[in-house]
Every structure is written in C-alpha cells, then in structure tokens.
A and B are shown apart, each in its own frame.
Chain A
Amino acid sequence: MTNFSSLASAAGLSGTQYKLRYEQSSCRLELTGLPDVTAAASADQPQQQLNILTGWDLNLGQKASLQGKREHLQALVSAVQPYVRLLVSAQPCQQSGGSDAVVSLEPQDDGRHLLRLRSSQPDTPPLELALDHAELADLNHCIDQMLVDARCALGLEVQSPQPLRRGQYRRSSVRRQGQWIAPAAACASVVIVGALVSLLPLPQRTAEPTGNTTTTEQSKP
C-alpha cells in the first residue's frame, strides 16, 4: 500500500515535505523528500511529486531499521533487482552488487539471502542481514512499487530485465534427464546389428553347370 502524506512544515522546513510509504508484511520503505518546485509541471504528471530525496527509511520487521541517502537507495535497488532477476530464472545466484559495493546481496548455504551493507566509516564492520525467501520477496515488492510510482520522481537508474544469453544460462530447472539415452541406444543398436550382419558369411554362389552350347553357324546357301 502506498501512503502519500504531506508534512507541512513539520520540522521547521520552509516548504512542504512529502512522505511516500510502501508496505508489505515484513518490510516498510518510507521516502521523505521535497518536490521540485522549479520544474515545470506538465499535464500528464501528478502535481505532487517527490523529486528531492532528503532521506529514506527501510524497516525490515524486527531485524533492522536502515536509513540513508539517495546513493544508498540507488545501491539497494541496484543490488536487489538483478539478484531477484536471476532467482526468477532459477539460476545459481552470485553476489549481486559487487564485493566493494555499498549494498550487496548473496546467497547462503541454508537458502537464505545475505544482505550486506557497508559503511564508509573506517573501522565499522558491515551490517549483515539474513533474509529468507519471503522477506526478500517483500523487499522486492516494495522496491517495485516505488519504481513504478509516478509520484516518486527520483530518477533512479534501473536495469531493465533482459533474457540471459545462452552462455549465461544454465539449465537447472526441469532438466531433461536421460534424454540422450533413447537416440544413443538406437544408434548403438544400428551399429551392432550392422556389425553382426557383416560377420555373417555370404552364401557362396554355386557355379552354374556349363551346358554344351554349340553355336551352329548356318551357312548361307
């Protein structure tokens, strides 16, 4: 559900601060920001838009509550979306976001997904959160809602999902186990039968009895 509310000068701001909220069972993403009043409003755009993000808050149930700036939201989106895209293809997932990225997501042996958030502060260990499938689906759902919401005009960079190339794609879903057995057995049987047939002795042709063939020449009278 999306809730759009304006907090008019609540924190002593001169303008109107907007808040967008996207909620699922175990996840709540809340964006706070300001509209860009200098942008010329066109007819097809909603009048109330959040153009300048002042902060965001991600609440993952009882696990953690994260706050950040626009770069961190961008990093979160960039880590979650490709990871989920690979999961939908049932591909073996690798670390999404990169080992040095602010936000990365990687699979764990127990089937969970490790969301790792790195701080730029020195000597600060990264925050690691293990999400189960349902929590990851909730987080993805919230991000999806944010990305298609016309009122959220942050211009985040999003990679559109593309089909995997043959080299990238590994069949791991419903495999065709033993599909080669039938044609291989057919070929092998043809070869074996051919070999056996070639070993059979050919029937020897008995020499035809040569009859007394006399050619009579008739002399012309």
Chain B
Amino acid sequence: MEAPNKEVTAQGLNWHHLSHCPRSLIATAAPATTSRMPRRGMERLDLLLLAIEALDLHGSEAMVWSCEQLQLQEAFPDRVALWKSRCRNPLRRASRRGELNAAEQRGLVELVCSLADRLYPMLRQLLSSSEPAELNAQRWGLFRERYNDLVEGRMNGRRGAIRQLLDPADGEALRQELVLTLALCCGPGGVQRLEASLLDGSR
C-alpha cells in the first residue's frame, strides 16, 4: 500500500529550547568530560560493553582493534589496561577500587559507540518489528544465553543488580534496554548522548 504524501505545514512556531548550540559545535561539544562518572554510569558502561561481547563473538578482539583505530592507545595501551578500566565496575567479581580518569572515561564511551556503529545492522534486526517473529525470538534467545553466560562469569552474583539481570522476568526488559541504548548511540551524535546519559545524576 502506498502511503499518501502528506505535507505538514505550520505557521508561527513560537517555542524554543532553553539552551541552544550551533550545529557546528555538535560534533565537538562534550558534556563536561571532567565530571566524575557516577557509580551507576560505570556499571552501565561495562554492561554495554558486555552486551557488545555477547553480540559479537570476537567482541573482545574488536575492542582492542577499535582502540587502535580510534587512537585510544594513550588511555588503553594494551588489552590489560582496557580490562583494568572495565574492572572499575563495582558489580564485577574482581572489582578495582578508584575512579576512571577523563581519558579512560571518554575512551570507553567512544569505544562503545564505535562498536555499536559496527554492529548496527544486527542491533536493528533485533529491534525491528518487521522481522519474522520466530527468527527474532531465536536471535534474542541466543543473545540472552551469551549475555547471561558472560554476566555469570564476570559479575558478582550476590549483587541485587546482577540477580535482577539474570532474572528471567526482569532480565528481558533490561537486555532490550541495553540493545536499544546501543542502537541509539550509533551515529555521529551518539558519543555526546551516551556520555551525557552516563553522567545522569552527577550534577
């Protein structure tokens, strides 16, 4: 069925945003990278990276490769440094104390967005309602299986958040939320969006 072309016309647009930034600044504007990332932001960032690993069998290799592509060697000179940064997540089984510095914080955000961009066709398939339902259910099942395996292996199962993530009832919605976040963090404006969302509640 061909949808009719409809022209939307309006007069007198009289509402404005409270704050504006010029278009040219979008690519460079970063929301307060020096702000301390809250604990929840670090947890979420690591869970997003874990979701990427669950989607991509070679996700951990892709992370190292992407660090080189994005010229993040200063923050993550090798895979051990990357792993140490990810271990700042307090939900991890072997969690490291301390906070991420600005370079690590920005680097991990860029890494997530870059990998999400690479996986966008897969993310889109998972989120699309036009895909065959049975096939999509299989895809979600595979993702759930791999994600739960990774969570069980690396996270502290005594934490309420992890129990909730592994819970069959609550976990489904949380996994969908993570996949949707990855899909919306693709593209040129993704880094700023994700960075802002990880700093929620910090001001």
Residues of A in contact with B (beta carbons under 8 Å apart): 25, 62-69, 71-72, 74-75, 78, 81, 84-85, 87-90, 98, 101-103, 112, 117-121, 127, 132-138, 140-141, 144-145, 147-148, 150, 152-166, 169, 171, 173-179
Contacts and interface: CB of A to CB of B under 8 A. Distances in A.
A110 to B, nearest CB: 9
A153 B23 CA distance: 8
B7 A141 contact: no
Given A84-B193, A157-B17, A160-B21, A134 B183 contact: yes
B197 to A, nearest CB: 4
B203 A133 contact: no
Interface of B: 1-11, 13, 15-27, 29, 31-32, 35, 40, 43-44, 47, 91, 120, 123-125, 127-130, 159-161, 163-165, 174, 177, 180-181, 183-190, 192-203
Contacts of A173: 40, 44, 174, 177
A84 B184 contact: yes
B129 A134 contact: yes
Contact of A166 (B174, B192, B201): B201
B181 A88 contact: yes
A78 B40 contact: no
Q: Is the interface of A mostly helix, strand, loop or mixed?
A: loop
A118 B13 CA distance: 12
Contacts of A148: 23, 26-27, 188-189
Given A137-B120, A144-B189, A159-B20, 18 more contacts: A64-B6, A66-B6, A72-B8, A89-B196, A101-B15, A102-B8, A120-B10, A134-B125, A134-B183, A137-B127, A137-B186, A138-B124, A147-B26, A154-B23, A158-B20, A160-B31, A173-B40, A177-B163
Contacts, number: 203
Contacts of B160: 175-179
B96 to A, nearest CB: 19
B7 A67 contact: yes
B93 to A, nearest CB: 16
Contact of B184 (A87, A127, A175): A87
A67 B32 CA distance: 37
Given A147-B189, A164-B200, A155 B22 contact: yes
